[in-house]
Amino acid sequence: MEKVSTDLFSNATRKTPSVYMEGSRFVVSGRSIPENPGAFYRPLYNWLTQRLPADSEPTVIEFGFEYLNTASAKWVYILLRDLIRAGRSFSLNWCYEKGDEDMLDLGIMLKNLLGCPFTSIEVDEINI
């Protein structure tokens, strides 16, 4: 999969996921355990809340986490909640590794809290 360069692009590190845009698909994938989650997620939050149009074809936001700490999960929730409140059109693909019931449960919890279009996708491995 070729990653399209945007002004919001980040390669994965040991503590942060990769972030990229591919057509109308926005992908965050990998491990999210940054020491300061705000420093990582605030630019992503600002970019999406400012650039995701309210009246366009829905963007697919795809999250695929190997691991997501509590502080990162809070940022993911706030990001999605605020996109909904701002009337942004998106659907959520929540990818989780086969057998990772905790990550599946987190996705289902987000679906129930947010009520956004949601698809859970079981994969053999989270692609970074």
Residue 13 resides in a domain: no
Number of domains in the chain: 1
Per-residue pLDDT tens digits of the chain, which is 128 residues long: 344 334 567 899 999 999 998 878 899 999 999 999 999 999 989 888 877 766 567 789 999 999 999 999 999 999 999 999 988 888 899 999 999 999 999 999 999 999 988 999 999 999 76
Q: Which domain holds residue 62?
A: 18-123
pLDDT for the residue 8: 64
Report how far residue 54's alpha carbon sits from residue 94's, in angstroms, rounded to the nearest whole number: 22
Helices (H) and strands (E) in the chain, counts: 3, 5
Residue 25 resides in a domain: yes
User: Has this prediction a pTM greater than 0.85?
Assistant: yes
Please return the burial class of 24, using the count of CB atoms within 10 Å of its CB with bins 0-12, 13-18 and 19+. exposed
Residue 9 resides in a domain: no
pLDDT for the residue 21: 84
Residue 8 resides in a domain: no
Report how far residue 40's alpha carbon sits from residue 16's, in angstroms, rounded to the nearest whole number: 8
CATH number of the domain bearing residue 60: 3.30.750.24
